[in-house]
Amino acid sequence: MDLPRAEPYKGGAGYPGYNEELLHKTILVGDSGVGKTSLLVQFDQGKFIPGSFSATVGIGFTNKVVTVDGTKVKLQIWDTAGQERFRSVTHAYYRDAQALLLLYDITNRSSFENIRAWLTEIHEYAQRDVVIMLLGNKADVSRERVVRSEDGETLAREYGVPFMETSAKTGMNVELAFLAIARELKHRAGQQPGNEPSFQIHDYVESQKKQPSCCPFV
């Protein structure tokens, strides 16, 4: 699969290719237990830590620099708590987010059914043009699947957002999800006012999902 190359975050101003205007705030949201922290660790460190993480309390974040068409794009990725009691804290972070990765667990029907409520909150508190991507996580646990991939596709089409299934354990589509977001944000940053966007994240995601190495569990 021909993807942009992800690199560890090595610093801010002064780092070769760094551009402060290309710092983008990305937030992971979804019910508690859907694998947001594991997804972030897989993308940031390239590994899966066996066992369950303790539920995220409040907000945590990490920085990651990725290369898109020779341009460094810095993602500031925020991992949010999914529990209801932290929801008001999460709302405050929506306002200046440029991208949101919305996760559900394919083995947990309620986490999927709650996606509509999450989208309602996002549309209420986030910027109108925020980039949203829907992710069905834990695709490696196919024997325990209760949410069909077709259900995720249908919901994503209803809300006009790109969709893919991921596995924080195997790394399936994890890098693709973040790099698709980075590519979209990079193109938006360089787009002239009034011009039609030259990059379509839906088309990019769909083309990459058709690659032979993509989506082995779907």
* Predicted pLDDT at 149: 96
Computed over every residue of the chain, the mean pLDDT equals 81
pLDDT band at 92 (very low <50, low <70, confident <90, very high): confident
Question: What is the helix (H) or strand (E) element at residue 68, kind and residue range?
Answer: strand 59-68
For CA atoms 204, 121, 127, 57, give the dihedral sign: negative
Q: Of 26-40, 88-102, 141-155, 179-193, which one has max mean pLDDT?
A: 141-155
Q: What percent of the chain has pLDDT over 90?
A: 54
* Predicted pLDDT at 10: 39
pLDDT, one tens digit per residue, over 121-138 is: 999 999 999 999 999 999
Report yes or no on whether pTM surpasses 0.75.
yes
Tell me how many degrees the CA angle 43-45-49 measures, rounded to the nearest 5.
Answer: 95
Helices (H), the chain: 36-45, 87-94, 109-113, 115-125, 149-159, 174-190, 201-209
Q: Of 18-27, 65-74, 110-119, 183-192, which one has max mean pLDDT?
A: 110-119
Domains by residue range for the chain, with CATH: 6-209 (3.40.50.300)
pLDDT at 99 over 70: yes
* Predicted pLDDT at 20: 45
Q: Provide φ and ψ at 165, rounded to 5°.
A: -100, 145
pLDDT at 80 over 90: no
- What's the rounded Cα separation, in Å, for the pair 160 and 158? 6
Q: Identify the weakest region by mean pLDDT among 61-70, 88-97, 162-171, 175-184.
A: 88-97
In the block, residue with structure tokens 């989208």: 119
- What's the rounded Cα separation, in Å, for the pair 22 and 201? 18
pLDDT band at 12 (very low <50, low <70, confident <90, very high): very low
* Predicted pLDDT at 151: 98
Mean pLDDT of 160-167: 96
* Predicted pLDDT at 199: 67
Q: Provide φ and ψ at 128, rounded to 5°.
A: -60, -35
Q: Provide φ and ψ at 163, rounded to 5°.
A: -140, 145
